[in-house]
Chain A
Amino acid sequence: NAGVMQNPRHLVRRRGQEARLRCSPMKGHSHVYWYRQLPEEGLKFMVYLQKENIIDESGMPKERFSAEFPKEGPSILRIQQVVRGDSAAYFCASSPGSGAYNEQFFGPGTRLTVL
Chain B
Amino acid sequence: RKEVEQDPGPFNVPEGATVAFNCTYSNSASQSFFWYRQDCRKEPKLLMSVYSSGNEDGRFTAQLNRASQYISLLIRDSKLSDSATYLCVVNQGGASGSARQLTFGSGTQLTVLP
Q: Write the residues of chain A forming the contact surface with B, with a CB cutoff of 8 angstroms.
A: 31, 33, 35, 41-45, 48, 55-56, 58-59, 89, 91, 93, 95, 98, 100-109, 111
For B87, what are the chain A residues with a Cβ–Cβ distance below 8 Å? 42-43
Q: Can you show 15 pairs from A to B with CB atoms below 8 A apart?
A: A33-B102, A42-B107, A43-B87, A43-B102, A48-B97, A56-B97, A100-B32, A100-B94, A101-B32, A101-B91, A102-B100, A106-B43, A106-B44, A106-B45, A108-B42
Chain B: interface residue total (CB-CB under 8 A): 27
The prevalent SS among residues of B at the interface is mixed
Tell me the smallest distance from the CB of B110 to a CB of chain A, in Å.
16
Distance A89 CA – B14 CA, assembled complex (angstroms): 31
Given contacts A43-B44, A108-B42, contact A48 B101 (CB under 8 A): yes
The prevalent SS among residues of A at the interface is strand
Enumerate B45-74 residues with CB–CB distance to A below 8 Å: 45-46, 49
Enumerate B86-100 residues with CB–CB distance to A below 8 Å: 87, 91-94, 96-100
A100 touches B91 (CB 8 A): yes
Distance A43 CA – B96 CA, assembled complex (angstroms): 21
For B34, what are the chain A residues with a Cβ–Cβ distance below 8 Å? 103
Is B103 located at the chain interface by the 8 A CB criterion?
A: yes
Could you say which of A56, A59, A91, A100 contacts B44, with CB atoms under 8 Å apart? A91
B100 touches A48 (CB 8 A): yes
* CB-nearest residue of chain B to A89: B41
B31 touches A101 (CB 8 A): yes
Distance A45 CA – B31 CA, assembled complex (angstroms): 17
* CB-nearest residue of chain B to A45: B101
A31 touches B43 (CB 8 A): no
* CB-nearest residue of chain B to A106: B43
A33 touches B93 (CB 8 A): no
Tell me the smallest distance from the CB of A31 to a CB of chain B, in Å.
7
